[in-house]
A = this chain, B = another copy of it.
Amino acid sequence: MNIAFIVYDQMTMLDFIGAFDPITRLKELSYLPDLSWKIVAETDIIKDANGLIVKADMISPDLSQFDIIFIPGAKEICRDVSFINWVKTSANCPLKVSVCTGSLILGLAGFLESKKATTHPNSFNELAQYAEVVEDKRIVDENDVITARGVSSSLDLGLYLCDKLAGHDAALRIASIMDYEHYK
């Protein structure tokens, strides 16, 4: 299983790292020894909303080679045509995942048509342009598209994916190692 973690300028880093932490533990703890991931971007380096610089492993790869794509949000998401067209190369990926306003990017790419989805509460109205139903839930799972609410929901989403990919016991153990008392 190969995951693409998409990063871009002005993104909210916690949207990404909150899920990156539990998901990557699936490999470290040998629940999914073959799990692999790449940090992917349109440019060699990106700068988050607070100036933190992260280096990409791959620049604009065809995303159809990945099993899962993961998209974080931002106060102002990237709406560049080239970026959205690149995200669209994931159309055939079995699972697309977003946190916070990352779901607006999934929407701009056309992946939320006739889907339920969620986002940061401040963006519920905008999400309604792209999704059939906007749900005020922490996580909305439409099987091939999973969206999570605001920033800190990234931790919950990461653990939700651990459960989905490796079972509830794996997710519970990872939550314990993360010292996260809010996952049941």
Q: Which residues of A contact B (CB under 8 A)?
A: 12-14, 17-18, 20-21, 24, 28, 37, 39, 45, 49-55, 57, 100, 120-121, 149-153, 155, 177-180, 182
Evaluate whether A150 and B177 lie within 8 angstroms (CB atoms) in the complex, with A17-B13, A17-B14 already known.
yes
Cβ contacts under 8 Å, A150 to chain B = 177-180
Can you list 11 A-B contacts (CB < 8 A)?
A14-B17, A14-B21, A20-B50, A20-B52, A39-B52, A120-B179, A151-B178, A151-B179, A153-B179, A155-B155, A182-B182
Residue of B nearest to A36 (CB): B51
In the complex formed, the residue of B with least CB distance to A149 is B179
Other contacts beyond A39-B51, A150-B180: 10, CB < 8 A: A12-B21, A14-B18, A17-B18, A20-B52, A28-B49, A37-B50, A39-B53, A51-B57, A53-B55, A150-B178
Once bound together, how far apart are the Cα atoms of A153 and B178, in whole Å? 8
Minimal Cβ-Cβ distance residue in B for A12? B21
Residues of chain B within 8 A of A179, CB atoms compared: 100, 120-121, 149-153
How far, in angstroms, from A90 to B54 measured CA to CA in the complex?
A: 26
A20 and B13 in contact, given A54-B52, A151-B180 (Cβ under 8 angstroms): yes
* CB-based nearest B residue for A47: B55
